[in-house]
Amino acid sequence: MEEPLSFYKVIAVLVVLGTICIGMCIRDIIRYQLRTIAGPMIALFASVHIYGYLIYPRAAKMPINEYRFDWEIYVQMGWALALILCLLIGLMLLKKLLMPKDLRFLMTSREIAPRPQLYQLGFFVTIVYTLFFLIRKRSAIGELLTIIRSGDYMWYYEVRVQNIFDHAQSNPILNNLDSLIVGNLLMFLVGVLYYIGFKYRKFFPYYHLLLAFALLTTLIRFQKSPILQLMLLICLAYFFGRQFSIRRGFRFIKPILLTGVFLIAVVAVYVVLGFSGNIVGELHNRLFLSSTLTSYAHFWTFPTHNGFLYYGGSRLFNLVLGFGQTPDLSLGLATPPLVSSYLYMGSMFNLNTSILGTAWAQNGYAGIFIETMLFFGCFVFWDIVFARKLKRYPYEPVVIFFLMQFLVVLNNGALSLIGKGFIVIPVLYLILFRPFSGGYGGGRPPMS
């Protein structure tokens, strides 16, 4: 199937816009010594989507006829991606304009200490609710132990598929609380404590207890990505806790070794979970091709085979605003990933994709404009606020929490700003901790 001329026009536009966008992000990362959220997140989104868009039509093991490939739809998706890149360039220009010119705030030693009563309350609520969560999920813990004893890790994937439907039909209030406290606050506290522990080279037993809780809660979700996120969280805590400076060339050995350790851990997770194929090829397809395939599925589905959803199927919006579910599917679960998987793939599962697909499914080009500005605008907002208004607060704990969830830019839409804690967690950080400039005697960390 020969590519039409319009495809090459889109490619030319994407390459130019992508080069500008990624170049601005690299400058942002170097200038702020990786203590930035917008630069890494936007660079990841732009590079993965452009690369995936270029190679997808010729990708091995993905015959285009099998996936109902249509050049007209694919070109339309390319123009939507070009719109996103234009908006991202605009956001990076806005950040450059509003960030302080004086970078001394990056060089000053900034410390944090807990606000005693609020921190203790937050820690107590996190521990108690996590225990409540584990009690509710005791059957999942039993299944996990049975899988480990049997060594049949394909069972792990079967349980994961069933959990998708169980989660979608469960109590939305409990789901949101699970996400806020177990998925976000627990992980954030682990990141903060280990950041401080690595910084002062001193750890206390309850640090490891919290990490054990986090590990158990990730394992019983029966997904690889939460496990990898937890490992990345610890790596980033070490990375920033040991005062890495991107301007000191000899210190690049640390991030290189750390990246190597993380990649080995990723391969180990695949091996332990029984993956028998080409792991490197699988990682390549999962990272670079999956986002393109899933986004294309959404463009194929909406609006030709199913009308735009206008957020009518959002469980979050239904809970808060009382919207009715769109009854297009037998289960009434009219979210973009489920509708696309049902109509495009022929079976219902969670066909997650980035804002390129989910925003289009909600409201076409208007949805893409709104979600891009909200989603990536949130990252730019926190970068600016902490650099201008909250200079005394170390930004590293927030950066660690955000970068830990880097896959969100490839797998989720703008509603993940709430579900992933991108709005709530920085606010809780300001509530639970205060800036401290007195220094800690003897290198003793504050949370002792």
Mean model confidence pLDDT for the chain: 81
Q: Give the pair of three-digit tokens for residue 239.
A: 């990375």
Q: What is the mean pLDDT of residues 422-447?
A: 76
Give residue limits of the domains in the chain: 1-448
Spatial separation of the C-alpha atoms in residues 254 and 260, rounded to whole Å: 10
Residue 429's pLDDT is what? 96
* Claim: this prediction has a pTM higher than 0.85: yes
Sign (positive or negative) of CA dihedral 358, 362, 364, 368? negative
- What are 72's two structure tokens? 């007209």
At 252, the pLDDT band (50, 70, 90 cuts) reads low
Q: Quick one: what percent of the chain has pLDDT higher than 70?
A: 74
Residue 436, SS3? Answer: strand
DSSP-derived 3-state class of residue 434: strand
Per-residue pLDDT tens for 269-301? 655 555 556 666 777 777 788 889 899 999 999
Could you write out the three-class secondary structure of 78-104?
HHHHHHHHHHHHHHHHHHHHHCCCCCH
Q: What is the pLDDT of residue 277?
A: 61
Asked if 169 and 315 count as a contact pair (C-beta separation under 8 A), the reply is no
Q: Which of 347, 290, 333, 410 is nearest to 169 (CA)?
A: 333
Q: What is the pLDDT of residues 416-433, one digit of tens each?
A: 888 899 999 999 999 999
Is residue 425 within 8 A of residue 186, CB to CB? The reply is no
Report helix, strand or coil for 445: coil
Cα 177 vs. chain centroid, distance in angstroms? 18
Give Cα separations from 400 to 8, 235, 236, 385, 406 (angstroms).
39, 9, 6, 17, 10
The secondary structure of 312-351 as a DSSP string is TT-HHHHHHH-PPPPTTSTT----HHHHHIIIIISS-S--
What is the pLDDT confidence band of residue 191, given thresholds at 50, 70 and 90? very high
